[in-house]
Each structure stands twice: as structure tokens, then as C-alpha cells.
Amino acid sequence: MTSVSISSLRAYAFAATAVRQYRSAMLNGNYVAVGSSLEVIGGMDSWFFNKIAGAVLSALLVAFGAGTLSQIISGGGHGDADHKPKPGYVLPVTAGEAATTAAALVAFKFSDVAPMLKTASADNGRAAFAPCRACHTVDKDGKALVGPNLYGIMGREVASNAGFPRYSTALKGAKGTWSFEKMAAYLNDPREAIPGNQMAFAGVKNNADLADLLVYLRTLSDAPVALPN
């Protein structure tokens, strides 16, 4: 605010100087006031008047500009608390959408998926695996893509595929083997389950799809691990 006040003062001083110059010009006899207008007498051309008018105008501009600037700096209001910034429009959120969002925020529970594994379909799981194929191969000794090959993944130690040299520190830090429970939590919400891991995948939110995926992953093996009881 201090700097704004100073610039207002400067603007005022500038305007005052311009007026003084104008008055001394009058006293020198170059100008005479006729009503409210000015007439040039003598040999003085109009550039001097223009110069003064320009100085007064720009002084006013600076003064108004400083006022506006001070409003911007002080938060854009007129000093009263009611002038809070308001959103230009409000996004309509229906009760249904709000409920879906709330449901997604309910913590994932493996106990909801576990009973589905007995009847889950590996064929459906193969179909549900479609988005994963962009980054993972599943054939034995398949090559690494953006992510590691997943043959034999169930029951194997986390982040242990020798053919994939780019595991994140986060995934390497997640010790243990890929149990159904660990895999379910990871595929449901990779970021939440292992914070900082590098799999750019939002997660499988549907429990039936997740169960199908888990039994499909289990088939990618010479000796599939047992389903959990």
C-alpha cells in the first residue's frame, strides 16, 4: 500500500507541475481565457498546449491506475467483506453423482472380493485384461513393455522379474509375494495400495471384474497357486 500511495503522490505532483506551467504560460501572455475555452494569441503554436493537456491526462491515468492497482493488491474489494470473489458458474452435481463419488471413497475390502474367486471366470478375466496389454505381455518369457512381463506373477516375489530393469523404488520396497489379497488391493487402486509406484493405471473398481482378473492372472503359470480359502 505504501508504494501505491507514493505513486499517487507522484502523479499529483506531476499534475501540479503541469498546471503551474500552464499558469506561467498564461502570465507570459501567450494564452487568454475566453469563457471556458483557451485561445492562442501571439506566435505560440498549439504543441505547448497539447503538451500540458497530455501531461494532465497522463497524470490522471497514473492516479486512476494507482487506485485500481491498490484495489488489486488489497484483494479487489471496496474495503467491505462482502466483496469476496465468486465463481462465474456453479457446476451442477446431482445426488447420484455425489453418491457414486462417496462410494468410490469407501475403502476397498478384500473380504468383498474373496468369496467371488470360487465362481470367477478366467475367460472374462482375459477380456478384462485388455487395457493391461498396452503395458504387459503375459506369455512365458514374453518381453517387457512399459511394464514387466506377468507370466508366473501370482505367488512370485513383488518386483522380481529379472527381465524388467526399471522397477520403482516404491514397488521394490513393497516386500513379500503377490498374494490374491495384495494383488486385489494393487489392481483396485495402484496408487493407494503402493504409493509412489510407477504403474500409470487408475485401477479396477468393479469387484466382479477384479475377481475375474485375479483368476486369469493365476492361470499364467506352469503351476498355478491355490485359490485362497
Residues that bind ligand HEC (CB under 6 A): 131-132, 134-136, 146-148, 150, 153, 158-159, 161, 167-168, 170-171, 187, 197-201, 204, 213
Per DSSP, 114 falls in state G
CB nearer to ligand HEC: pick between 19 and 200? 200
What would you report as the CA-atom Rg of the chain, rounded to the nearest whole angstrom?
Answer: 38
Task: Output the smallest distance, CB 159 to ligand HEC, in A.
Answer: 5
- CA dist., res. 118 & res. 111, Å (int): 13
CB nearer to ligand HEC: pick between 135 and 225? 135
CB nearer to ligand HEC: pick between 59 and 214? 214
CB nearer to ligand HEC: pick between 100 and 169? 169
Task: Output the smallest distance, CB 64 to ligand HEC, in A.
Answer: 55
CB atoms within 10 A of CB 132: 19
Task: Output the smallest distance, CB 194 to ligand HEC, in A.
Answer: 7
CB nearer to ligand HEC: pick between 66 and 194? 194
Asked whether 176 and 158 are in contact (CB, 8 A), the reply is yes
CB nearer to ligand HEC: pick between 4 and 128? 128
CB nearer to ligand HEC: pick between 52 and 132? 132
Task: Output the smallest distance, CB 105 to ligand HEC, in A.
Answer: 21
Task: Output the smallest distance, CB 97 to ligand HEC, in A.
Answer: 25
Q: What angle (nearest 5°) sits at the alpha carbon of residue 77, between those of residues 72 and 82?
A: 155
What's the first-to-final CA gap in the chain, in angstroms? 71
The set of cell numbers assigned to 24 is 506561467
Task: Output the smallest distance, CB 228 to ligand HEC, in A.
Answer: 17
Task: Output the smallest distance, CB 169 to ligand HEC, in A.
Answer: 8
Q: Distances in Å between the alpha carbon of 91 and those of 86, 87, 102, 144?
A: 13, 10, 17, 43
In terms of DSSP H, where are the helices of the chain?
Answer: 2-27, 47-73, 95-105, 110-113, 122-128, 169-173, 180-188, 190-193, 207-219
- CA dist., res. 118 & res. 227, Å (int): 8
